[in-house]
Amino acid sequence: MTFMKKPNVRHPGLRKNELGLTRRDYEGLLSTLCAGCGHDSISAAIIEACFEMDLPAHRLAKLSGIGCSSKTPTYFLNQSHGFNSVHGRMPSIATGANLANRDLIYLGVSGDGDTASIGLGQFCHAMRRRVNMIYIVENNGTYGLTKGQFSATSDRVSKSKKGEANLFEAIDLCTLAIHLGAGFVARGFSGDKEGLVPLIKAAFHYKGFAFLDIVSPCVTFNDHAASTKSYDYVRAHNEAMDRLDLVPEREEIIAQAEEGKTVTVRMHDGSLMRLHKLDDTYDPRDSESALTTLRKRYSKGQVVTGLLYIDDEDADLHTLLNTTAQPLNAVPMSDLCPGNAQLAKINKSLR
Amino acid sequence: MSSADVAVKSRGMRPTNLADPNYFHKVVDCQWACPAHTPVPEYIRLVAQGRYAQAYMLNWESNVFPGILGRTCDRPCEPACRRVRLEDKPVAICRLKRVAADYRGDISGLLPKIPKKKNGRRIALLGAGPASLTVARDLMPLGYKCVLFEKDARGGGLMRTNIPSFRLPERVLNEEVQMILDMGVEARFGHEVTSLREVLDEEFDAVFVGTGAPRGKDLNIPGREEAARNIHIGIDWLTSVAFEHTKKIGRRVVVIGGGNTAMDCCRSALRLGGKDVRVTVRSPRGDMKASDWEIEDAEREGIPIFDNHQPTEFIVENGKLKGVRFARMQAEYDSQGRRKLTPTGDEAVFECDDVLMAIGQDNAFTWIERDIGVEFGEWGMPAVDKITMMSTRPGVFFGGDAGWGPENIIWAVAHGHQAAISIDLHCSGQSLKSARPGPGTSLVSQKMGLHEWSYGNQYSEDARVAVPHADKRKSLKSLKVEVELGYDVKLALEEAERCLNCDVQTVFVRDLCIECDACVDICPVDCINFTPNGVEEDLRRRLRVPAENLSQDLYISEDLKTGRIMAKDEDLCLHCGLCAERCPTGAWDMQKFTYVERQANPAGQLHCMAYIK
């Protein structure tokens, strides 16, 4: 980490977005992570994405659990809401917050320990319920805060920094997410911001559970030659499935897509997502095809990145529950609580 | 186009050549802009550390007159300061130099030793201004005998005659001039040279002409001759004031001209009894030649400036000056930005008792015979080599205003250094160009520990500290009261903190980089990029913030593992070192770049050289 605060002074030529804000206005406090941590790059990518989307920071709530990754919401979007929950319990907080106020955008930031170990159950149920949120796992395959033990996403072929073998199979979070009903599943790499920023933006536009597994090298414990989550390994084995273009609602599509190579998806908010497939053997709208591709590539030691699966038709939790369009926290108490007489009536009907 | 050029064009920019001393020198904007290339950030750090004597010596070696320049320099360094591009106000580089001079204490033990045994060479120096004195200072420690010819009774040249003592106290001037004379210079004061041939006949080994541009321009309009008694040429009048021949002036004074001399004239007039002193300029105010701060100082003393006023007549009544008639002008600019002044048809009359004319200076070489091998070119100026300062007659050198027309003190010093090198080479029979010594440079890491650097890398958000002034009621009463009081130690420290240490360079090592983007994310001014290479124009456009300032270079790395390059726009780099602090592999390091312009006498550069390891 650095101890010196990043000075407030900015480049006078810094671009401004529609809100008149610069990228710097989306920053947070000084990061206390190790210098070179992939998580800091992900924070920067989130900042970039929010800036480019002209997002008003007060419209967003950052939620996290415990771990290196879960510290990061402090380092971006200083003007947003935030909740730092108990280890692995962020999905419950997100579900509750989302039910209470459906108008906010929920961004969950978690790590491989917080999600794939202690919080695995919570993670699964948030997906099942299709909570409308963006769920990012900053996946470094190691427990950095406790000195570099293997995590549940550490590949079996990977070794520790000191050379110990990993005895157990890895949990592939993307596979799990497709199985359990996440409607948007993507994998990114912290060292490839050009690929990552569009994925984050697309996840923001998706209505439903948008899952982003981001490989994020731990420079202190897991960036060595025998690691499968090092900068070098991921760069050498990165198989990008597609490149994303996000066309905001207000802009017309001019160029015609090349048949078979490009998939156009209309998002719930009206914007269009253009997916330029780099591998035309699979279809990201077909979960079977996505799962097969993931499994096959994984067995070859490849790290598949890009938008892996999208379901643009499924409904989110609020739609399924048929809740009122008005956020529940804005419904007056008199409507929210019909009173004793009503309660007695309901109770009576159940006897 | 050769095949290599084609390859470069298709692949993009070449990696930056750090072995070129000019690359990092250019990044140190202030030092690059200074004609004498004074190591500015180094002396500002020394001032911040309270090591005033060292800060003074570093300056003295490079610019010879730190106390004088710290009050009067034209400061080309300040408009160049990176702070101007970041937030408008430069570091007060000039006034921090004055701090070094004000608090230096006794430095006599640090001055170069003058050999008792001379080398047998005699050099004539014509004019005792900054250029000649610099040549003497550089040559005396080498054993040369220097003979200084000066028409006035004391040394200093225009520093004495043209700069009023409320800006430059005589004590400061005397000290720094005397320091050089005390090296054993044979000074012939009160000796006006009227023939170069006569000097040459004395058989000097070399002659240096540093006689300045001593002739003030005149204005031949109706009434000039009739009112001659009350119309004064600015620089002559200032000289007369300096030597106390002139002690008063009329109540109403009109100053004609918009340069620094005009500012000195009007402020001097105010102190010699002028009550209604006004400055008139023919051009619009924005085009005035005077430095902004000198205009500010005049206005602070209540002197109004009338722009777009072109004098057309000196009004004379009963053989006495009554006033000046002006045609009101307006400026028009054509598409190329060339200015044309045209009269509006309106007139103005300013009544006055005296007129001071400060509309420029000319060189005057009537005393140089045209048949002795010194050739003259355009505008009656001598043909002088820009690098060696030698005229067309071997052994005769020119410098300062005499060589290149009216400039300023710091340019005169720079010329003096170059002329001294040439004279030394000339006297030892070496080539003035191929044997010329290049600059000395070094690049040393400033890392002291995990997060420790040997320089203060915190960015100061403070505004420029104003220099305290003497009470106006007191200072306007006398020519001798210095207006600026200078920074005290505390203010100096505050101002010194504003320096960005641009000489502490960001040095990138390609082989160590893992392309984690940490430096890109932490850089406060978005100057670091990892991107595919391209031709410069294209690359500049593609950066995180497009690099539109073409005078600032891009730092380009060799190809990285991903095939991209690192491209850093040097323009606004704060030199805060956050990239190096954030880098997990040490691919970025903060290294101090020292650049020392060589002089004739390396022994006189002990302090400068101490910073080159």
One-character DSSP codes across A49-86: HHHHTT--GGGEEEEE-SSHHHHGGGGB-TTSEEEE-S
- Residue B31 confidence (pLDDT): 97
Task: Tell whether the model's pLDDT for residue A240 goes beyond 90.
Answer: no
Residue of B nearest to A29 (CA): B522
C-alpha to C-alpha distance for B21 and B402, rounded to whole angstroms: 30
Which two structure tokens, joined as six digits, stand for B591? 């290294």
Residues in chain B whose beta carbon is closer than 8 A to a beta carbon of chain A? 85-87, 451, 457-459, 461, 514-518, 520-522, 524-527, 545-546, 548, 561-562, 572, 574, 576-578, 581-585
Between the alpha carbon of residue B211 and those of residues A179, A259, B183, B208, the distances in Å are 91, 82, 21, 9
Q: Residue A78: is it exposed, middle or buried by C-beta count within 10 angstroms (0-12/13-18/19+)?
A: middle
Select from A1, A5, A11, A219 the residue whose CB has the most chain B CBs within 10 Å, as the one to mutate to test that interface: A11
pLDDT at A255 over 80: no
Q: What is the mean pLDDT of residues A37-55?
A: 96
What is the side-by-side strand order in the sheet with B528-531? B528-531, B565-569, B554-556
Distance in Å, alpha carbon of A201 to nearest chain B alpha carbon: 18
Helices B170-181, B130-139: crossing angle, 10 deg rounding: 40
Contacts of A178 (CB under 8 A, 6+ apart): A185, A287, A290, A291, A294, A308, A309
Across the interface, whether the CB atoms of B545 and A219 are under 8 A apart is answered no
What residues of A are in contact with residue B572 (Cβ under 8 Å)?
11-12
Mutate to test the interface with B, among A1, A2, A235 (most CBs of B within 10 A): A2
- Are B132 and B108 contacting, i.e. CB atoms less than 8 angstroms apart? no
Mutate which of A5, A9, A222 to disrupt the B interface (most B C-beta within 10 Å)? Answer: A9
Query: Chain B contact for A32, CB < 8 A?
Result: no
Query: For the CA atoms of A49, A52, A58, A61, what is the dihedral angle to 10 degrees?
Result: -20
Q: Report A:299-338 residues touching B (Cβ under 8 A).
A: none
Distance from CA of A98 to the nearest CA of B (A): 31
Residues belonging to chain A:
351
One-letter amino acid for residue B242 of the chain = A
pLDDT level of residue B120 (50, 70, 90 thresholds): very high
Say if residue B431's pLDDT is above 70: yes
Q: Tell me how far apart the alpha carbons of residues A128 and A131 are, in angstroms, rounded to a whole number.
A: 8
User: Cβ contacts (< 8 Å) between B85 and chain A: which residues?
Assistant: 12
User: CA dist A217 to A135, A229, A232, A233, Å?
Assistant: 19, 6, 10, 10
Q: Are B577 and B504 in contact (CB under 8 A)?
A: yes
| pLDDT (tens digit per residue) in A286-307 | 999 899 989 998 998 899 999 9
Residues from chain B that touch A2, judged by Cβ atoms under 8 A, are: 451, 522, 578, 581-582
Which residues is B351 bridged to in the sheet? B323
Closest by Cβ to B516, choosing from A2, A15, A38: A38
d(CA B66, CA B96): 10
Proportion of chain B above pLDDT 70, given as a percent:
97
CB contact under 8 A, A11 and B546: no
- On whether any CB of chain B is under 8 Å from the CB of A40, the answer is yes
3-class SS of residue B608: helix
Query: Mean pLDDT throughout B318-335?
Result: 93
Chain B environment of A3 (Cβ under 8 Å): 451
Instruction: Say yes or no for a CB contact (<8 Å) between A41 and B572.
Output: no
Phi, psi of A345 (to 5 degrees): -65, -45
In sequence order, the 6+-apart residues with CB closer than 8 A to the CB of B533 are: B11, B12, B13, B539, B556, B559, B564, B565
The distance of Cα B295 from the centroid of its chain, to the nearest Å, equals: 18
E strands present in B419-469 = 440-445, 447-449, 452-453
Instruction: Say if the Cβ atoms of B516 and A217 lie within 8 Å.
Output: yes
- Check CB contact of A7 with chain B, cutoff 8 Å: yes
Determine the pLDDT at residue A248.
66
Distance from CA of B211 to the nearest CA of A (A): 46
Task: Collect all residues with Cβ–Cβ distance below 8 Å to A103 and sequence separation of at least 6.
Answer: A59, A327
Region B578-585: mean pLDDT is: 93
The confidence band for B576, taking pLDDT boundaries of 50, 70 and 90, is very high
pLDDT digits (tens, 9 = 90+) for B210-247: 999 888 999 999 999 999 999 999 999 999 999 999 99
Dump pLDDT digits (tens) for B165-181. 999 999 999 999 999 99
pLDDT digits (tens, 9 = 90+) for A201-220: 999 999 999 999 999 999 99
Q: How far apart are the first and last CA of chain A?
A: 63
Q: Look at residue B1 in the predicted model and tell me its pLDDT.
A: 44
- In this structure, of A297-301, B2-6, B463-467, B552-556, the range with the lowest mean pLDDT score is B2-6
- What ipTM is given for this predicted complex? 0.89
Q: Which pLDDT score, from 0 to 100, does residue A246 have?
A: 76
Residue A269 pLDDT exceeds 90: no
8 Å CB contact of A41 and B458: no
Count of other CB atoms within 10 angstroms of residue B84: 14
Contact state of A15 with B521 under an 8 Å Cβ cutoff: no
CA distance, residue A56 to nearest chain B CA (Å): 21
The 10s digit of each residue's pLDDT in B530-551 is: 999 999 999 999 999 999 999 9
From B548, which residue of chain A is nearest by alpha-carbon distance?
A13
CB within 8 Å: B546 and A14: no
- Our CA-based measurement puts residue A36 at a distance from the nearest CA of chain B, in whole angstroms, of 5
CB–CB contact B518 A14 (8 Å):
no
List the one residue out of B303, B304, B241, B233 whose CA is nearest residue B272: B241
Mapped to the 3 state alphabet, what secondary structure does B478-546 carry? CCCCCCECCCCHHHHHHHHCCCCCCCEEEEECHHHCCCCCHHHHHCCCCCEEEECCCCHHHHHHHCCCC
Residue A284 has a pLDDT of 87
Dihedral sign for Cα B286, B290, B294, B298, please: negative
Is A261 a residue whose pLDDT tops 90? no
Distance to chain B for A161, nearest Cα, Å: 16
Q: What residues have CB less than 8 Å from A85, skipping those under 6 apart?
A: A63, A64, A65, A92, A93
**Residue tagged 């005009």 (tokens):** B262
pLDDT band at residue B379 using 50, 70 and 90 as cut-offs: confident
End-to-end CA distance of chain B: 42
The mean per-residue pLDDT over the stretch A243-261 comes to 60
Q: What is the mean pLDDT of chain A?
A: 91
**What's the rounded Cα separation, in Å, for the pair B608 and B610?**
5
Cβ neighbours of B507 (radius 10 Å): 17
Check: CB of residue B592 under 8 Å from CB of residue B24.
Answer: no
Domain A23-321 sits in CATH 3.40.50.970: yes
Residue B267: φ, ψ to 5°: -70, -35
- Indicate yes or no: CB of A36 within 8 angstroms of CB of B527: no
CATH class assigned to B112-214+363-427 = alpha beta
A235 contacts B451? CB cut-off 8 A: no
Give residue B512's Cα distance to chain centre: 41
Whole-angstrom distance, CA of residue B52 vs CA of residue B505: 24
Contact A40 B521 (CB under 8 A): yes
Span B509-533, mean pLDDT?
A: 95
Q: Which residues of A touch B524 (CB under 8 A)?
A: 6-10
Q: What is the pLDDT of residues A94-128, one digit of tens each?
A: 999 999 999 999 999 999 999 999 999 999 999 99
Handedness of CA B442, B448, B449, B453 (dihedral sign): negative
Torsion of CA B161, B166, B167, B170, to 10 degrees: 60
pLDDT value of residue B49: 94
* pLDDT reported for residue B195: 96
In eight-state DSSP terms, residue B390 is: B
Q: How distant, in Å, are the alpha carbons of B239, B407, B514 from that of B156?
A: 12, 16, 59
Residue B604: is its pLDDT beyond 70?
no
Chain A partners within 8 Å of B584 (Cβ): 34-37, 219
Residue B346: is it exposed, middle or buried by C-beta count within 10 angstroms (0-12/13-18/19+)? exposed
**Cβ of A11 and B516 within 8 Å?**
no
Please give the single-letter amino acid code of residue B510: R
Q: Which helix (H) or strand (E) holds A107?
A: strand A105-111
**What is the number of other CB atoms lying within 10 angstroms of the CB of residue B501?**
22
Q: Which of A6, A37, A193 sits opposite B524 (nearest CB)?
A: A6
- Quick one: closest CA in B to A10, which residue? B525
CATH 3.50.50.60 fits B217-359, yes or no: yes
Given this model, what pLDDT does residue A253 score? 47
Cβ B582–A2 below 8 Å, yes or no? Answer: yes
Residue A32 C-alpha from the chain's centroid: 21
The predicted model scores a pTM of 0.90
Whether B184 and B144 have beta carbons less than 8 Å apart is answered as no
* SS3 state at A276: strand
The predicted structure's pLDDT at residue A251: 54
The structural domains of chain A, with segments of one domain joined by +, span 23-321
Closest chain B residue by Cα to residue A219: B584
Q: Hey, are the CB atoms on A41 and B516 less than 8 Å from each other?
A: yes
| CA–CA separation, B11 and A252 (whole Å) | 34
Q: Burial, A119: exposed, middle or buried (Cβ in 10 Å; 0-12, 13-18, 19+)? A: buried
**Contacting residues of A for B562, CB less than 8 Å apart:** 235
- By Cβ distance, the residue of B451, B527, B548 closest to A2 is B451
State whether A12 and B582 contact (CB < 8 Å): no
Q: How confident is the model at residue B362 (pLDDT cuts 50, 70, 90)?
A: confident
Q: Provide the percentage of residues in chain A whose pLDDT is more than 70.
A: 95
Residue B459, min C-alpha distance to chain A (Å): 6
SS3 A239: strand
State whether residue A225 sits within 8 Å of chain B by CB: no
> Pairing relation of β-strands B339-351 and B122-126?
unpaired
CA distance B233 to A333: 90
Half-sphere exposure of B49 (CA within 13 A, CB side): 14
Residue limits of CATH 3.50.50.60 in chain B: 112-214+363-427, 217-359
In angstroms, the CA B29 to CA B22 distance is 11
- A-B Cβ pairs (cutoff 8 Å, strict): 97
**Pick from B162, B352, B130, B150: nearest CA to B241:** B162
**Chain B residues close to A217, C-beta within 8 Å:** 516
Higher-pLDDT residue of A261, B58: B58
What is the model's pLDDT at position A258?
55
B303: three-class secondary structure by DSSP? coil
Tokens 């932490």 label which residue?
A: B522
Q: Nearest Cβ partner of A9 from B86, B451, B521?
A: B86
Can you read off the two tokens belonging to residue A273? 């997502």
